[in-house]
Amino acid sequence: MSDHLRPVPGQRRLNWYLTLPKVAVGLLLVLLVALLWLLREHEVEEQRSTLIADVLWLEQNFRFHLDGNAEQMKQLALDLSAEHDGRATFLTRARHLLKISPELAQIVWFDARGKLRGALPTPVPARLADGSPGDPDGNPAAERGFELASKLGKPVYTDPFSTSQGAQFALYVPVFHGLELRGMLIAAYSLNDLLQQLVPWWFAEKYRVSVLDDNGAVLLRKSKVDAGFLSLSHEVLLEPPGRGLVLQATAYHGAGNPVQTLITVVIVSLAAAVMWSLWAIRGLIRRRLDAERALRSEHAFRKAMEDSLTVGMRARDPGGRITYVNPAFCRMVGLSPVELIGQTPPMTYWAPEEMEKTVALHDAVMEGKAPPGGFELRFMRKDGSRFDALVYEAPLIDADGQHTGWMGSVRDVTERKHTAELARQQFEKLQFTSRLVTMGEMASTLAHELNQPLAAIASYNTGCLNKLDSGDYTREELSGALTKLGVQAQRAGHIIRRVHDFVRKSEPKRAPCDLAEVIDDSIGFLGSAAKARNIPIVREIQGMCPKLMADQVMLEQVLVNLMRNAIDAMENIAPERRRLTIKLGRLENQMEIRVVDRGPGISPTVQEKLFTPFFSTKPDGMGMGLNICRSIIEFHHGRLWTEANPEGGSIFVITLPVDP
């Protein structure tokens, strides 16, 4: 059977792999549609809850307002029952009620016989009879209101009735003196004005508000939105006035959520596109399987040829990533193809000691500038051993004529580089000699830095011995001195460890550092020496200072050195002029420390050489202090310089970035 007729292994499994994504996409589409439906239902439920809450609020607003008016009418009835005439009181109070309650169409006062005693805003009631407790037009609502209020002895609302001004209802409040009915107060409400006053604008823009009678007929409506398709509505009894009145609010149906609609359309479109792409991929995969079968034999033939080569072959894409290695190259570097393929510069087989040269040649190859006669490099095997390689690079061109990378052939030329190896060993000896010189320089630095803590240890030790010899001491005094002595001993040990770390690792350790604490520690260290020379130390710190990532011991050493120099400089100055000031402040994104003395100052000639190694103005000076100080500050990405003090003396300025 030919290869084209032989069944492809895993064909049935491939069909399953292509069917499962289709089923998954279909299920995802169903779930998304269900989710959108649930979101819509949730939105409707939230709108219904909001509608109910708003309607209840509006009904409560109506009730509170009408109850307030009823209380004022009852109070007016009490006041009228206590007066003989009461017309002035009625007119005053009625005007006030009409002013604060624009929904009141009219307030009328009858005596017990139905005679009109007063009416506002017009002197003649619009719907009530001349001296009759009823209605001239035979309004049954007015008659029932008068009768119920008289019998019950409390305010009564009437059924709604129609007038020329629109639908109204009235509040009847009896005027009793003891048990005797002396009159009736009537307040007529306009439903239209009531809605205008008590329904806020935002409510009318969201809902259509209607007042219905007990038969469901619409007495009045209020809305600021054109009528359209209305969906949700809610009704509550209007108490007061009651009497069958119903308050109805209907929410306007919005235009729908365009985002949800767009999302639905996009989801359906994407699902259709995915289904179509899966079907297209099915055909592509089948064609690819056919092509792979055709290439399988060719690949086996090419691999046999490559495995027989003794020259290492290595292919890289235009970005430098390794795409192919042959067995000969793998044997050279001691790495497997899995470990090599996919590596990007720097490669694991690049020798660290020649990394710069290797990177430069790699960049030249990637730019198409590889030396035509090849070039030599030192590579590193997996076990760490090195070998010299002669490399030739040539461009890789695919079947379409496109440049797809570079093919390199690698030869092991270690034997030919034996002489160069001897030269390399000699160079290593020179490097070792250079390290010995560096160790000597660091020894002088160590002696300079240890001078201060060792002097402090000797001072504390002498103080303790003097106290013991005198017999006049306390446990606390000796304990404090010994504690400080221990601190200085730890400080000396810490300096030694720091110098050792600097030599070994070439970089001190950084940690969050409080400059105010560094200043305080430095002042505490030199406080006794300054006091002995009658030099006050002034500490000026401006506001809260952020912590810096710095080596606290190194910064403390800089300050102690500068402060000690300042104290020495003021030794021959008049005592009243002596003062050492340490200032700490912030300038934009950096901290500034100023060490200000009132010494003789620094001449321009000396200032030029001030930070030069081994230059000192002191007879016993080593000339390393200020140079070390500047090196420490520059290590922290800061600056150290000196300025003239306008009051006489010098100012050493240190700036350190807050976020280097």
Scanning 86-218, the segments in alpha helix (DSSP H) are 87-100, 140-152, 191-198, 201-206
Residue 325 makes CB contacts below 8 A (sequence gap 6+) with 312, 313, 314, 315, 337, 340, 341
For residue 489, the model assigns a pLDDT of 83
User: What does residue 195 show for φ and ψ, rounded to 5 degrees?
Assistant: -65, -40
Upper half-sphere CA count for residue 300 (Cβ side, 13 Å): 5
Give the span between the Cα atoms of 655 and 353, in whole angstroms: 37
pLDDT of residue 340: 85
pLDDT at residue number 494: 66
Q: Which residues of the chain have pLDDT under 50?
A: 1-8, 128-137, 423-424, 426-442, 444-446, 501-506
The token duo for 80 is: 């009228």
The phi and psi torsions of 557 (rounded to 5 degrees) equal -65, -40
Residue carrying the six token digits 């009437």: 158
User: pLDDT digit string (tens) for 213-238?
Assistant: 877 788 778 775 555 555 678 888 88
Give the C-alpha separation, 364 to 356, whole Å. Answer: 12
| pLDDT for residue 622 | 62
Pairing of strands 537-541, 580-587: parallel
Between vectors from CA 227 to CA 222 and to CA 231, what angle results, nearest 5°?
Answer: 95
Within 10 A of 593 (CB to CB), how many other CB atoms are there?
Answer: 24
432, burial (CB in 10 Å: exposed 0-12, middle 13-18, buried 19+): exposed
Which residues touch 500 (CB under 8 Å, ≥6 apart)? none
Q: Would you state the pLDDT for residue 628?
A: 75
The residues near 148 (Cβ < 8 Å, ≥ 6 apart) are 156, 172
pLDDT of residue 502: 42
**pLDDT on residue 655:** 93
Name the pTM for this structure. 0.37
Report how far residue 597's alpha carbon sits from residue 570's, in angstroms, rounded to the nearest whole number: 7
Q: How many residues does the chain have?
A: 660
